[in-house]
Chains A and B, each alone.
Chain A
Amino acid sequence: MIRKLDDKGISKANYKVIGTRPIRHDGLDKVTGQAKYSADINLPGMLYGKVLRSPHAHARIRNIDAGKALALKGVSAVITSADFSIQSDKVIDLGEGAMVNTGFLSQNVMAKEKVLYKGHAVAAVAAESMHLAEEALALIDVDYDVLSPVFDVREAMKPGAPLLHERLYHSSTPFIRPGGLKDDSDNSPGSNIASHFVFELGNPKNAFAEADIIVEREFQTKPVHQGYIEPHAATAIWNRDGKATLWCSSQGQFTMRDQSAVLLGIATSNIRVIPLEIGGGFGGKTLVYLEPIALLLAKKAGRPVKVTMSRKEVFEGTGPTSGSFMRVKLGANNDGKLVAAEGVLAYEAGAFPGSPVNPGVQCMFASYDLKDVRVEGYDVVVNKQKVAAYRAPGSPGSCFAVETVIDELAEKLNIDPLELREKNGAKEGTRRVSGPVFGKIGYLETIKIAKSHPHYIEPIKRNAGSKVRGRGIASGFWFNGSGPACAIANVHSDGTVSLIEGSPDIGGSRAMAAMCVAEVLGLAAEDVHPSVGDTDSIGYTSNTGGSSVAFKTGWASYEAAQDIKRQLIERAARIWDVDPGQVEMDNGTLNEKSGTRRQFTFKNLAAVLLSTGGPIVGKAAVDPAGVGGAFALHIADVEVDPETGKVDVIRYTAFQDVGTAVHPSYVEGQIQGGVAQGIGWALNEEYVFSEDGTMLNSSFLDYRMPTSLDLPMIEAVIVEVPNPGHPFGVRGVGEVPIVPPMAAIANAVYDAIGVRIRRLPINPPTVLEAIWAKDGSGRG
């Protein structure tokens, strides 16, 4: 369902291809099993690599003895951190909320002096078969000095807590530097607090003093994993000239190249990364894990090596998102105007600094027009997996907290929750807590559409047998991003165009890119053939993430097509012997503006290119500004069984401003997918740890993600408030849909059972405890 806004100043362009739903170009390979994913590469002479992982959550490594492993027949190589290049604490920006310095990145890929979580990589082996590699791992002797771990974020912040990095630099005074290391001469007491962020607008202290009503609450969340179905895998081979080729699936082949090159201490041009299809990423495949290991093993063994992760290793050895402790305080007047806001977030970074607490604090109040706000965030290391980005990193957790408090405020003020949001909604000109002012955004338009939707209007039936039902609403925001992106488009003599761009395709983006080219040149989407280039064949393109691809790669594709258009006009002019100013191209046809009014269709002109001057290739390299942020509003109906505590989501509608939906089916897909992950996060998913830091549920059986039985149909309502900063009005769409679900469900559960649950997940034991506490039965 698409709702085009009829407001003044919003163009209702008549697109021919944008907005249609062609079959995606890579679809045939994917439905027939032909598409190649990261573990699908088999090379002649290939060895299999496996990683040895720490059994301790916190320990010093005294010695690693791989002698027996190397002696095993069929084992070709063993590596440890000694094989990696020495790293300084140079910072690399990965985007997606994860800023790491290369020293920490290297240590996470393979532990150096200490192991900092159970599952931390310690060594790796290459052998003739995977089974043999696993046997070899068991023969590696590692001597550990076990240390006391710390797991809870608030415990880790206390003075006297076990320190993960003795020389971690607590950067609360210098401007935003994610934990680096102290100078050798600095003997100030150590800390697990890697970073501290503060943003303030106006004077919240005074504003709270003036408020008619204040609500202040605390919240807790647990680490959750992105849950991509495809485990990590990487295959590497070296040439005799010292150059390597790496196949992997990732959210950025250039990131994999650059990070690997730094960790190995070689020039980036010595590694060519060929992106394979990716089986889900959601932010979790923006850091290297196996790639440098595959490269080093292949170098040592002198043969190609494929390294894979088991599902258990994915959970225990890659990066979930942060668990957290949060406090939110909101002040309002009796008429429903929000007058003051304060938020404090403590996010677990895991073993190394870099939680998304920064975007967390910046997004939490973004939906509201507030003049007096203060937000504060702490990035804290604990003995758990080092966190990686997960879809709108930082925002889902903090918005869970804020949207729950907003709901409570609405109830106390006796104002409809949607009315309260409309009254205080952010709009063009609203200043964000970090300083900049919003451009054209669609939050209020999204609320308006929601108000007229049946899911909002139709009342919910309270009781269904012994179960109770409730309805909840929540909104969410994500910045969206941009970055460098390149595209090359070749015109073929049969009137088709092949497009090479640089963005790994997580969910239909190459079809989107092809549609942008088709729109400019007046072609059918099927006549543009898109593919994703490797690090040598396409110009630098930043990660597929940050909801940036439709924006930046769509733009690059658009520009490459414009380049072709210019050249076609020149060519037709040359053929007709007129000035190029006399030729225009519209709707796939080149027309002579006056005189004999000659014409070429795209196909006819393409057919004669080689005989009239040569082939035509369009190119573009962009790094576009003009990003538009995205807002979402969700309505959830739940049914709660008071006997078992089980919560079922029975109806769900997600409204989202997408700017312009290039391919509506895949925009809907992004919305539905984000909602599904949010529902899992709300109801079931969490890392369960034992006392010694072992993840107890590192399998899909016990790390419980939603199945087809757990979800209803998810209605995605596309709202289009075009972003004036983009040629087609595009806003990023992929991330914001995961932001509202947890609060929407928590608010719905409250509506059903009358108890506010302020920690995630809202699983059956939690619901039962809440019900029993409320009815005073004291059970449990």
Chain B
Amino acid sequence: MARVFIPTMLQFLTSGVKDLRIDVRNIEEVVRILEKQFPGMSDRLLVDGQLVSTVVVSVDGQVSHLGLLQRVKEESEVHFVPNMGGGCKGPYPLPE
């Protein structure tokens, strides 16, 4: 079961739950399950069905650029971290 951590700033949605173990294949499933258990979560994490660009997902200590597509392993640790300095992820060309 992957261990998914709730960011400090979103723990108000989970009544203080800081992390939970869930059985998932990828981040999209993580967000779906989080939204089911803690309504309002996907509103904070997604924009237009994609991970909001100010957040990246870190799996086993590595920042992923695959967003919702990122696969999650059996014993993975998943964090949602603010996207910030050092990363040169973008900007990607914007849709026309």
| Cβ-defined contact, B91 with A93, below 8 A | yes
Task: Tell me if B's interface is mostly helix, strand, loop or mixed.
Answer: loop
- A residues near B9, Cβ cutoff 8 Å: 173, 175-176, 197-199
A389–B92 Cα distance when bound, in Å, is 19
A259–B91 Cα distance when bound, in Å, is 8
Chain A min CB distance to B52 (Å): 7
Task: Tell me if A's interface is mostly helix, strand, loop or mixed.
Answer: loop
**Is B87 in contact with chain A by the CB < 8 A criterion?**
yes
A484–B87 Cα distance when bound, in Å, is 10
- B residues near A725, Cβ cutoff 8 Å: 62
A545–B96 Cα distance when bound, in Å, is 27
| Cβ-defined contact, B86 with A436, below 8 A | no
A545–B84 Cα distance when bound, in Å, is 12
Which one of B8, B54, B85 contacts A178 once the chains associate, using CB atoms below 8 Å? B54
Q: C-beta contact mask, B51-88 vs A, less than 8 Å → 1, else 0?
A: 01111001001111100000000000101111111111
Q: C-beta contact mask, A619-640 vs B, less than 8 Å → 1, else 0?
A: 0000101110000000000000
Which one of B81, B88, B90 contacts A434 once the chains associate, using CB atoms below 8 Å? B81
A91–B45 Cα distance when bound, in Å, is 14
Q: Which of A211-219, A355-363, A418-426 is the contact stretch?
A: A355-363
| Cβ-defined contact, B88 with A545, below 8 A | yes
Q: C-beta contact mask, A731-775 vs B, less than 8 Å → 1, else 0?
A: 010010000000000000000000000000000000000000000
Q: C-beta contact mask, A720-732 vs B, less than 8 Å → 1, else 0?
A: 0000010000001
Which one of A358, A435, A542 contacts B89 once the chains associate, using CB atoms below 8 Å? A542
| Cβ-defined contact, B86 with A735, below 8 A | yes
Interface size class of A (residues with CB under 8 A): 35 or more
**Is B44 in contact with chain A by the CB < 8 A criterion?**
yes
| Cβ-defined contact, A95 with B7, below 8 A | no
**Is B38 in contact with chain A by the CB < 8 A criterion?**
no
- A residues near B91, Cβ cutoff 8 Å: 92-94, 255, 258-259
- B residues near A268, Cβ cutoff 8 Å: 93-94
A547–B82 Cα distance when bound, in Å, is 18
| Cβ-defined contact, A359 with B86, below 8 A | yes
CB nearest to A547 among chain B residues:
B86
| Cβ-defined contact, B62 with A625, below 8 A | yes
| Cβ-defined contact, A436 with B61, below 8 A | yes
CB nearest to B82 among chain A residues:
A176
A43–B89 Cα distance when bound, in Å, is 34
Number of B interface residues at 8 Å Cβ cutoff, please give it: 36
- B residues near A262, Cβ cutoff 8 Å: 94
The B27-62 residues at the A interface (CB cut-off 8 A) are: 44-45, 52-55, 58, 61-62
A482–B53 Cα distance when bound, in Å, is 16
| Cβ-defined contact, A483 with B84, below 8 A | no
CB nearest to A359 among chain B residues:
B85
Q: C-beta contact mask, B1-39 vs A, less than 8 Å → 1, else 0?
A: 000010111101000000000000000000000000000
- A residues near B12, Cβ cutoff 8 Å: 173
A681–B61 Cα distance when bound, in Å, is 32
| Cβ-defined contact, A92 with B85, below 8 A | no
Which one of A90, A95, A174, A437 contacts B77 once the chains associate, using CB atoms below 8 Å? A437
A176–B96 Cα distance when bound, in Å, is 26
A392–B7 Cα distance when bound, in Å, is 23
| Cβ-defined contact, A200 with B8, below 8 A | yes
- A residues near B8, Cβ cutoff 8 Å: 198-200
| Cβ-defined contact, B55 with A95, below 8 A | no
- A residues near B61, Cβ cutoff 8 Å: 436-439
| Cβ-defined contact, B84 with A362, below 8 A | yes
Kindly name the residue among B58, B61, B92 whose own CB sees the greatest number of chain A CB atoms within 10 A: B61
Other A-B pairs beyond A95-B90, A627-B63, 4, CB < 8 Å: A356-B85, A437-B61, A625-B62, A625-B65
Show 19 A/B contacts (Cβ-Cβ < 8 Å), sorted by A.
A91-B53, A92-B53, A93-B83, A97-B85, A98-B85, A99-B54, A175-B10, A176-B54, A255-B91, A258-B92, A392-B86, A394-B84, A395-B85, A438-B61, A479-B87, A480-B86, A483-B65, A542-B88, A544-B88
Residues of chain B whose beta carbon lies under 8 Å from any beta carbon of chain A: 5, 7-10, 12, 44-45, 52-55, 58, 61-65, 77, 79-94, 96
A-B pairs, 10 with minimum CB distance: A97-B85, A435-B79, A481-B86, A542-B88, A95-B88, A483-B88, A175-B44, A359-B85, A546-B86, A92-B91
